[in-house]
C-alpha cells in the first residue's frame, strides 16, 4: 500500500518534469530541478519511513528502473559514439600524425593531475588528522575487508605490462560489446586505425574514399541524433538516481565518519579549483568554463558513472567548449578509464595516509610521500585493466605499499556519498585534459567557447 503511494508521488514528479520539458525549458534547468526534487523526495522517504525501511527498499527497487535504465541507455551509445566520432574526426583533420600528439598530451595531463591530486589527498588527510585507528568494524565492514583480500589475489596476478597489453583490441567486435574493462580504450585504438586506413583509401582511391567519407558522415549524424534523444531523458534519470542515493543512505554511519566525508569533499573541491587554474593558464575564462561544464558534472555526481557520462562529456566539449571531435573523444575516453583524479588519485592517497600510522609509518615522511605519489600515478594508468574504480585503485596502491588492504573496507557505509564527488572530479579532469590539449595544439574553436548561444535548447527539443 505505502509502496504504491510512494510510486504515485514519484509519477507525479515525473509528470512535472514532462510539463517543464514541454514548456521548452533548457536541459540545465530541468536537470537541476530534477536534482532538487530527487533530494526532497528521497529525504521525505527517509523522514517518513526511517533508514533501512522495507518500504523504502521496495520503493527504490522500482524507482531504480528509471535510474539504472537511463544509465544503461547512456552506456548503449558510448561505443557507437566513440567509433564514428573518432573515425570522422581523423578523416576531417586529414592528418594522422596529430593523433599521437592528441593522445600523448591528453594522457600526460591526466597523469600529471592525478599526481597532484594524490599530493592534495596526503595534505588534506594530515590536516584533518584522519586515521584508520578507532573506526568501528561492523559486520559489513568485516565482510568487505575479507572480499577485498580475496580480490587482491587477482589484482597482484596482473602486471603493469599485462595492463598495457589489455588496451590493444585483439577482437574489436568483442570490445564494441564492452566485454572487457579496457574495451573503451581498445575501441579508441581500433577506431583510430580505421580512420587512418580510411584516409589512405581517400588518397589512393578517391571514388571509394568519397563513398566511405559519405557513409561516415551519415553514421555520425544518426549517432548524434541518438545521443540527443538519450540526453533529453537526463532529468528523469537524475531524479531517480538522486532519490535512490538520499533515501538509501544511512545517516548514522555518515555522521560517525563525518570527518572523512568533509575532508574528502575539501580535497575534491581543491582538485576542481586546480582544474580551473590550469584551464586559465591556456587562456580559458574559468568562470565561463565552469558554467558550461556544470550540467555534465551534475550528471556525473548523481550517476556515479564516469563511463556513463562519456556521451554528455563529448557533446559538451564539442558544442560548448569548442575542443573538436578528435580531442573531445580521446580525452573523454581516456579520462573514463585512466588517470582518474578522484577515484585513482585522491582516494587511494587518503586511505594510505590513514592506514600508515597503524603500521608504524610517518605519512609526512618525504620518502613515503614521493613513493606514494609515484605509485598512485603509475597505478592510475592501469586501473581499467582490473576494473572496479576507486576500490581497485586503493587495492593496487595499498598492496604495493605492503599495507593491510582489508582496512579499505572500513568506509563501505559512506562509499556512495564520497563516490558521487569523486566521479564528478574524474569527469572534470577528463574535460580539463581535453580543453588544455585543444588549446596547446591550436585546434580549439574559441568563438564557439565565447558564444552564449544555448545549444541545450536544441537538445531539450530533440
Per residue in 21-78, pLDDT (tens digit) is 888 777 778 888 998 999 899 989 988 888 778 899 899 999 999 998 988 888 888 8
CATH number at residue 412: 1.10.3860.10
pLDDT of residue 410: 60
Range of the domain at 142: 2-461
pLDDT of residue 74: 83
Whether residue 425 contacts residue 272, with contact meaning beta carbons closer than 8 Å, is answered with yes
The 3-class SS string of 386-420 reads CCCCHHHHHHHHHHHCCCCHHHHHHHHHHHHHHHH
pLDDT of residue 461: 44
Q: Could you tell me the sign of the dihedral formed by the alpha carbons of 219, 224, 230, 232, in that order?
A: negative
pLDDT of residue 10: 94
CA dihedral 272, 384, 298, 376 (to 10 degrees): -20
The neighbour count for residue 370, using CB atoms within 10 Å, is: 11
pLDDT of residue 383: 61
Number of domains in the chain: 1
Cell matching residue 210: 568519397
pTM of the model as a whole: 0.78
Alpha-carbon distance of 224 to 213, in angstroms, equals: 16
Q: How many CA atoms lie within 13 A of 39 on its CB side?
A: 8
Alpha-carbon distance of 152 to 392, in angstroms, equals: 8
Task: Output helix, strand, coil percentages for the chain, rounded to the nearest 5.
Answer: 80, 0, 20
Contacts of 261 (CB under 8 A, 6+ apart): 254, 414, 417, 418
The low-confidence residues of the chain, meaning pLDDT below 70, are 93-97, 133-160, 181, 250-256, 382-389, 406-413, 453-462
DSSP label at residue 362: -
Alpha-carbon distance of 454 to 23, in angstroms, equals: 16
Alpha-carbon distance of 448 to 78, in angstroms, equals: 24
- Of 260, 319, 244, the C-alpha closest to 121 is 260
pLDDT of residue 236: 93
Amino acid at each position: 500500500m505505502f509502496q504504491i503511494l510512494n510510486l504515485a508521488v514519484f509519477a507525479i514528479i515525473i509528470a512535472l518534469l514532462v510539463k517543464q520539458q514541454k514548456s521548452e525549458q533548457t536541459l540545465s534547468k530541468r536537470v537541476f530541478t530534477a536534482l532538487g526534487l530527487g533530494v526532497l523526495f528521497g529525504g521525505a522517504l527517509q523522514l517518513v519511513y526511517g533508514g533501512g525501511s522495507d518500504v523504502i527498499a521496495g520503493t527504490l527497487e522500482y524507482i531504480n528502473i528509471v535510474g539504472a535504465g537511463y544509465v544503461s541507455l547512456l552506456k548503449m551509445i558510448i561505443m557507437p559514439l566513440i567509433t564514428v566520432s573518432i573515425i570522422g574526426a581523423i578523416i576531417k583533420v586529414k592528418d594522422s600524425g596529430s593523433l599521437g600528439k592528441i593522445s600523448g598530451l591528453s594522457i600526460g595531463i591526466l597523469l600529471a593531475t592525478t599526481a597532484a591530486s594524490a599530493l592534495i589527498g596526503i595534505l588534506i588527510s594530515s590536516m584533518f588528522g584522519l586515521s584508520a585507528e578507532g573506526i568501528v568494524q561492523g559486520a559489513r565492514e568485516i565482510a568487505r575487508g575479507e572480499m577485498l583480500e580475496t580480490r587482491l589475489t587477482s589484482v597482484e596476478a596482473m602486471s603493469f605490462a599485462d595492463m598495457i597489453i589489455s588496451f590493444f583490441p585483439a577482437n574489436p567486435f568483442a570490445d564494441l560489446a564492452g566485454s572487457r574493462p579496457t574495451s573503451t580504450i581498445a575501441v579508441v585504438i581500433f577506431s583510430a586505425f580505421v580512420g587512418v586506413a580510411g584516409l589512405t583509401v581517400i588518397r589512393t582511391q578517391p571514388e571509394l574514399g568519397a563513398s566511405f567519407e559519405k557513409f561516415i558522415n551519415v553514421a555520425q549524424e544518426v549517432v548524434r541524433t541518438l545521443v540527443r534523444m538519450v540526453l533529453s531523458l537526463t532529468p528523469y534519470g537524475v531524479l531517480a538516481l538522486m532519490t535512490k542515493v538520499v533515501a538509501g543512505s544511512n545517516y548514522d554511519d555518515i555522521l560517525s565518519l563525518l570527518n572523512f566525508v568533509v575532508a574528502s569533499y575539501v580535497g575534491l573541491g581543491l582538485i576542481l579549483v586546480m582544474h580551473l587554474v590550469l584551464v586559465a593558464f591556456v587562456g580559458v575564462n574559468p568562470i565561463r568554463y565552469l558554467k558550461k561544464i556544470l550540467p555534465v558534472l551534475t550528471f556525473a555526481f548523481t550517476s556515479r558513472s564516469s563511463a556513463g557520462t562519456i556521451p554528455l562529456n563529448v557533446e559538451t566539449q564539442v558544442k560548448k567548449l569548442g575542443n573538436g571531435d578528435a580531442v573531445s573523444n580521446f580525452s573523454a575516453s581516456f579520462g573514463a578509464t585512466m588517470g582518474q583524479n578522484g577515484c585513482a588519485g585522491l582516494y587511494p592517497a587518503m586511505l594510505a595516509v590513514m592506514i600508515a600510522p597503524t603500521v608504524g609509518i610517518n605519512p609526512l615522511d618525504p620518502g613515503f610521500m614521493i613513493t606514494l605519489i609515484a605509485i598512485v600515478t603509475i597505478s592510475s594508468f592501469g586501473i581499467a585493466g582490473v576494473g572496479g574504480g576507486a576500490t581497485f585503485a586503493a587495492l593496487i596502491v595499498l598492496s604495493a605499499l605492503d599495507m593491510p588492504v582489508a582496512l579499505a573496507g572500513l568506509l563501505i557505509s559512506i562509499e556512495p556519498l564520497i563516490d558521487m564527488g569523486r566521479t564528478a572530479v574524474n569527469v572534470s579532469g577528463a574535460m580539463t585534459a581535453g580543453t588544455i590539449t585543444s588549446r596547446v595544439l591550436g585546434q580549439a574553436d574559441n568563438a564557439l567557447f565565447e558564444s552564449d548561444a544555448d545549444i541545450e535548447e536544441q537538445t531539450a527539443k530533440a
